[in-house]
Structure 1
């Protein structure tokens, strides 16, 4: 062979990529996917198994599954492939916390739209999750239950059928047991807790405001309590009794302590490049099983960093 020439490809296909068939395991008792995989794939480490899930190498009954806590039932078949799936899109600004046949619960980052109009082509939570469910069924759809503003982060959920959407929206107050936020607001809130009640209306420029006339608009009720406070900022825990558009933002302005970074509703400061509002807890009764589910996320670190001086 002359120097510099590439070696010829041996006969018998030694240079071909081998497609090893996936390993298949039958589920014999109820449990969750990650512990099941750790048991079956030992001595593979936890991080390796998590990586397999993240790269679409695991399926349950031939449906790609990435959730660690996906419930398993006896008789199901869990398949593990050596090949990473190129068809599984990576979610941007979005993390799935729970998924089943009825709902998807996600954590949305600040900066990502929940849903856009048909004319807009921007990446949204809705579009990404639609692509996600269509990996298993090209006809699958998701349905909006509630929204978070673009610059608000935290827990939100979508329905996976029109029937579930209707049931949950028609019985929202009974089904949703807890929906709490944390808000970083400007100034020192002196009253430890309180309730704001008003009637919200919308201007022609799509800005919400509290009407001075009783019963004029949509009734909105917001409860708050102070979690931390300093001269410049207060961290509030907020519970919604109603879920109106921009409700918390308007009510914090009404309180005289607008949300940090919320120039639209009166904020004068911007301590970080986002809105100081985070949907921290969502608890609800599952629409088909009746089981109580609760999802709690951490308070964003930039919110807490505004109080470091006070803690020293």
Structure 2
């Protein structure tokens, strides 16, 4: 059961960072755990989410919501993996849609981490006990390529590349509507939605800088096939950027695509979209420098069957028109 703490910052003493205050005020909570809660939108100041570094000056009302605990150490599970590459330092996998990357409240098992622990016992511990080896994530219902560190040296090297925006990340997506221009750039801060904690928003008062480059690959009645390259990697970045541009991803119920299905005139296409049961987003290409050898490595994956089925139908319908 989730625990809720309502705290008031003392007006006496020096200004204090939010993460320090939360860790000090909630028994049993470390500073790193406090930072994770803040980043997940589980901590609010005066009713709004904030950054861990926010300086509290005194008198603020802070609400902390702590989810129920999960097992401290993930258990290895024999879950099939599509491994694209592996050596003593890294493992590159093609994650299927529906698989969570690491254990968390509500998803303690069946994750990529559980599968990797069973597959290899030498995952890096830098990411935290619940996230061994994880240097980046893709959403549960997004498919595609992901790299995992197998030791601390690899973890640090990969994390540095992601932090410096030096990793090549290319996605394919099906979006509702017609993007009129052939290519473009979307830029704007993304933060936790002020009301709905499960969503991110470009309208949040406090957010992180986010840049997405996009290019149209195909236009069809009611939909556009888009290639996207991430310059930054914020939570739900592509989903938020396209939705707030008026083109939510096909199948993305969280960001407003549900009502667009009924606008599709083709009944067969409507049926294919409803069968998708996830956002039409695939992490197709990942390129990075090997964190130990320095060699550039790039991995490219095919579209999964559910997305490919819709695109094949759209192309066939366009040729028959």
Q: TM-score normalized by structure 2?
A: 0.63
Segments of 5+ residues of structure 2 without an aligned counterpart are: 1-75, 126-131, 262-272
Q: Report the CA distance between 1:150 and its aligned residue.
A: 0.7
Q: Report the CA distance between 1:266 and its aligned residue.
A: 1.0
Match of 2:178 among 177, 183, 188: 188
Q: State the SS of the aligned residue for 2:285.
A: strand
**Counterpart of 2:79?**
91
Match of 2:157 among 157, 160, 167: 167
Q: Do 1:276 and 1:303's aligned partners in 2 also have CA atoms closer than 8 Å?
A: no
Segments of 5+ residues of structure 1 without an aligned counterpart are: 1-87
Q: Do 1:133 and 1:140's aligned partners in 2 also have CA atoms closer than 8 Å?
A: no
Match of 1:211 among 177, 194, 203: 203
Q: Report the CA distance between 1:97 and its aligned residue.
A: 0.5
Q: Quick one: distance in 2 between partners of 1:170 and 1:244?
A: 16
Report the structure, 1 or 2, having the larger helix content: 2
**Counterpart of 2:287?**
283
Distance verdict in 2 for CA 1:305–1:111, change over 3 Å? same
**Counterpart of 1:25?**
none
Q: State the SS of the aligned residue for 2:109.
A: coil
Distance verdict in 2 for CA 1:97–1:199, change over 3 Å? same
Q: TM-score normalized by structure 1?
A: 0.65
Where does 1:67-106 land on structure 2 (aligned, <5 Å)? 91-92=79-80, 94-106=81-93
Cα displacement string for residues 96-140 of structure 1 (whole angstroms, at most 9, x for unaligned residues):
110111111000111111112277433011110011113xx6x87
Bigger Rg, structure 1 or 2:
1
1:309 aligns with 2:317: yes
Cα displacement string for residues 204-262 of structure 1 (whole angstroms, at most 9, x for unaligned residues):
5231000276xx41000001010011121111000000000000000010111100110
Q: Do 1:175 and 1:284's aligned partners in 2 also have CA atoms closer than 8 Å?
A: no
Q: Quick one: distance in 2 between partners of 1:263 and 1:212?
A: 20
**Counterpart of 1:250?**
240
Q: State the SS of the aligned residue for 1:283.
A: strand
Q: Do 1:168 and 1:175's aligned partners in 2 also have CA atoms closer than 8 Å?
A: no
My pick for the range that moved more, 217-226 or 271-280, is: 271-280
Q: State the SS of the aligned residue for 2:117.
A: helix
Q: Do 1:184 and 1:235's aligned partners in 2 also have CA atoms closer than 8 Å?
A: yes
1:202 aligns with 2:192: yes
Q: State the SS of the aligned residue for 1:166.
A: helix
Q: Do 1:226 and 1:234's aligned partners in 2 also have CA atoms closer than 8 Å?
A: yes
Match of 2:136 among 146, 156, 168: 146
Q: Report the CA distance between 1:174 and its aligned residue.
A: 5.2
Q: Quick one: distance in 2 between partners of 1:226 and 1:295?
A: 22
**Counterpart of 2:94?**
107
Q: Report the CA distance between 1:179 and its aligned residue.
A: 0.7
Corresponding residue pairs, total:
219
Q: Quick one: distance in 2 between partners of 1:120 and 1:225?
A: 35
Q: Quick one: distance in 1 between partners of 2:182 and 2:252?
A: 22
Q: Quick one: distance in 2 between partners of 1:224 and 1:311?
A: 25
Q: State the SS of the aligned residue for 1:171.
A: helix
